[in-house]
Structure 1
Amino acid sequence: MGKVMSLLGRRAIKPFKEFNFESRVNREITKEKRQAAPWHQSTVKLIEKSIEDQPEDVLRSLKERDDLLLDRLKQVYVTSDDSEPQQKIAENPDRPLPTNRTFVSDMVFGYTEPKCVPYGKITLKDVLQAISKHQEDPEFWTPKKISSEFKLDPGLTEKVLHHFRTFVLIIPKDYKRTQITQETLKNTALTAPITLKQPVSSDNEDESITSKEKS
Structure 2
Amino acid sequence: MGKVISSLGKRAIRPFKEFNLEARSHKEILKENRVTSPWHESTAKIIKDSIRSQPDEVKKRLKEKDDILVDRLKKVYVTSKDVQPQNPIEGDPSRPLPVDRNVHLNPEFGYFEPKSVPYGKITLRDFVEVVSKHQQDPEVWTPKKISYEYKLDTALTEKLLRHFRTFVLIAPKDYKTTKITQSTLKTIPSTTPDSLKQLSQDDSEEERTKSKGKS
TM-score bucket (shorter structure): 0.3 to 0.5
TM-score w.r.t. length of structure 2 = 0.47
